[in-house]
Amino acid sequence: MRDPGGVPRLLLVHHTPSPAVQSLLERARDGAGHPDIEGVELVVRPALAATAIDVLEADGYLLGTPANFGYMSGALKHFFDLVYYPCLDATVGRPYGLYVHGNDDTAGAVRAVAAITAGLGWKLAQPVPRGPHRSRRALAGAALAAALVLAAVSCGHADRPELGEDAAPTTTTVAPTTTTAPDRTTTVVTTPATSVEVFAAPDEPAPALTVEKPGPGLQAPADPLAFVVEDEQDGWMQVQLPVRPNGSTGWIRADGLQEATTDLRIEVSLSWYRLKLFRGDELLLDAPVAIGADDSPTPTGTFFTTTLMQGYAQPSAYGIAAIGLSGFSEVLESFSGGPPQIAIHGTYDEAAIGSRGSNGCIRLSNADIQSLVDQLPQHLGVPVTIAP
């Protein structure tokens, strides 16, 4: 059992299959132990050996992985699968850092890790200025370690659970007592326009693309185009986009947009076949789901709701209601003659709940989709995190 009054602990979880990644690990480890930083205990665990107890007893995390075909390594994914639900409520607000090695599409690996850590409520540690003799990876470790020292001063480790020798991580539930919960409010903007020009940056002379309002088969006619806001700048808004590739963002003009906020969010675990609806930190719904088949998997990442469709002829393959999402299948080029947009929808085949059988959508029983709809007074722009 760890002394809850001890120095803050940084857990470094890594998958290191090559000399290049080993070099990054060594630099990150050196950064976390830099002489400028005092009072941080560093614990290093291979991703396949790290446990939920390691996570619960740490005050922050540094994660390292190679990029494998645009995704994190299987070993790091295994780590998240193991610790996600045992640590879900007990580690909210803790800082983390990440280093990724790859020759191409490291962004996909970063997005995948960001989606899971967002579900856990972890906060990305802020970088520190880069000095002339310190590598970026070393600074990643140093920045996170510094953040832990600051957290220790302000919080006194009051949110770290005390674990006995025989404690079972799957039954540990410890609520933070002095750590400020992360802001769960999301800003959503809508427009009555049928298309919106999107720019790579506010000062770009020409749009990078145009987002068109989907047709009636993919969006309820009464629902406007919606976007989730990530940043604002001098009459511009950086927003998440309901386009391919998943995770795309861009800048749109703020003129004519209607702004709202929501503290609702949806979290889906593919490994556990569960969907949860939260208002802030209050759990409103916890329901079993069916997910994408092995050859048409449900994509992971951070998305948002784009429409609510009801009132179509029954019985339907989509059950009594369908909530469109901003994401798309990453293996299907099209579906039923249109884009392979994913959705959360009902089903009459309740025996399939808890299995992999869809074309990428998330299926709920009709009773559960109705309960979900009833608790979504604002059905546009609700964040949806889909974790492995």
Q: Which of 198, 190, 184 is nearest to 259 (CA)?
A: 190
* Residue 221 and residue 160 in one domain: no
User: φ, ψ for residue 25 (rounded to 5)?
Assistant: -60, -45
Distances (CA, A) of 329 to 53, 180, 343: 35, 36, 10
310-343 as b/e: b if 16+ CB within 10 A: eeeeeeeebbbbbbbbbbbbbeeeebeeebbbbb
Domain boundary residue among 243, 261, 279?
261
* C-beta of residue 11 within 8 angstroms of C-beta of residue 62: yes
Number of residues that this document lists for the chain: 388
pLDDT for 288 equals 94
User: φ, ψ for residue 54 (rounded to 5)?
Assistant: -55, -45
* Residue 124 and residue 197 in one domain: no
pLDDT for 153 equals 47
- For residue 364, being part of any structural domain is answered with yes
Q: Is the peptide bond before 315 cis (omega within 30 degrees of 0)?
A: yes
Torsion of CA 386, 208, 108, 91, to 10 degrees: -50
* C-beta of residue 210 within 8 angstroms of C-beta of residue 198: yes
Domain count for the chain? 3
pLDDT for 141 equals 61
Angle between helices 136-155 and 19-32 (to 10 degrees): 40
Domain boundary residue among 261, 279, 309?
261
Q: How many CB atoms lie within 10 A of CB 212?
A: 12
* Residue 43 and residue 161 in one domain: yes
| Tokens found for residue 227 | 């976007």
Sign of CA dihedral 349, 352, 357, 360: positive
Q: Which of 84, 86, 96, 88 is nearest to 151 (CA)?
A: 96
**How many whole angstroms separate alpha carbon 227 and alpha carbon 237?**
10
* Residue 27 and residue 157 in one domain: yes
* C-beta of residue 225 within 8 angstroms of C-beta of residue 191: yes
* Residue 229 and residue 314 in one domain: no
* Residue 136 and residue 232 in one domain: no
pLDDT for 274 equals 92
For the question of whether the overall pTM of this predicted structure is more than 0.75, the answer is no
**How many whole angstroms separate alpha carbon 18 and alpha carbon 16?**
6
What totals of helices (H) and strands (E) does the chain contain, helices first? Answer: 6, 22
* Residue 150 and residue 60 in one domain: yes
Segment-wise mean pLDDT, segments of 10 residues, the chain, 388 residues? 68 88 82 72 89 90 84 88 89 89 76 89 66 50 55 46 39 34 78 96 94 89 95 94 94 96 92 90 91 95 95 94 96 91 96 94 97 94 91
- For residue 176, being part of any structural domain is answered with no
- For residue 178, being part of any structural domain is answered with no
Domain that holds residue 255: 186-261
Alpha helix ranges (H) inside the chain? 19-32, 52-56, 74-87, 106-120, 136-155, 366-374
Q: Determine whether 274 is exposed, middle or buried from the number of CB atoms within 10 Å of its CB (0-12, 13-18, 19+).
A: middle
* Residue 166 and residue 192 in one domain: no
| Tokens found for residue 261 | 């906020």
* Residue 67 and residue 160 in one domain: yes
* Residue 248 and residue 284 in one domain: no
